[in-house]
Amino acid sequence: MATLSDDTLRKILLQIQQTAVQSQRALNISKQQIAAKERERRILQLTIEEITGLQGDVNLYKGVGKMFMMVPRPAMEGDLKNEEKELTEDIKNLEKKACAASFLPLYGSITPLTI
């Protein structure tokens, strides 16, 4: 069995460290995106709860650019629920991406080795 030279081992170690750093960055970005989407979803859930708590004869308005349009209650509830479903799907996809990005889940972070 042939042994590898020190230069070859250093190059391999450097590549592994670079890959680990890239994966850690991707994981952090995914976690930030998940947190933002969860915040948005929670705001939508609160909005839906507020709308369902209102009486039936209340006018609802939706922001469109620089103006507001009156929207029927069922349409507003349907739009908000669809947005919530989309956010939930986005969160699931981001969690899968984050799981794939963390190839060392047991070790947390990687510290560079010195030779």
pLDDT value for 112: 53
Threshold 0.85, pTM exceeds: no
Domain 6-101 classification at class level: mainly alpha
Q: Which residues contact 72 (CB under 8 A, 6 or more apart)?
A: 60
Q: Tokens standing for 42?
A: 């929670």
Amino acid at 63: G
In angstroms, the Cα distances linking 97 to 3, 46, 55, 62, 91 are: 37, 27, 42, 33, 10
Query: Hey, where are the domains in the chain?
Result: 6-101
| Average pLDDT per block of 10 residues along the chain, 115 residues long | 78 90 89 94 94 86 93 91 95 86 54 54
Q: Tell me the C-alpha distance between 81 and 60, whole Å.
A: 15
Answer whether 39's CB lies under 8 Å from 89's CB.
no
Reference 98, options 49, 46, 34, 53; nearest CA is 34
DSSP 105: T
Q: Which residues pair with 64 in a beta bridge?
A: 67
Q: How many CB atoms lie within 10 A of CB 87?
A: 20
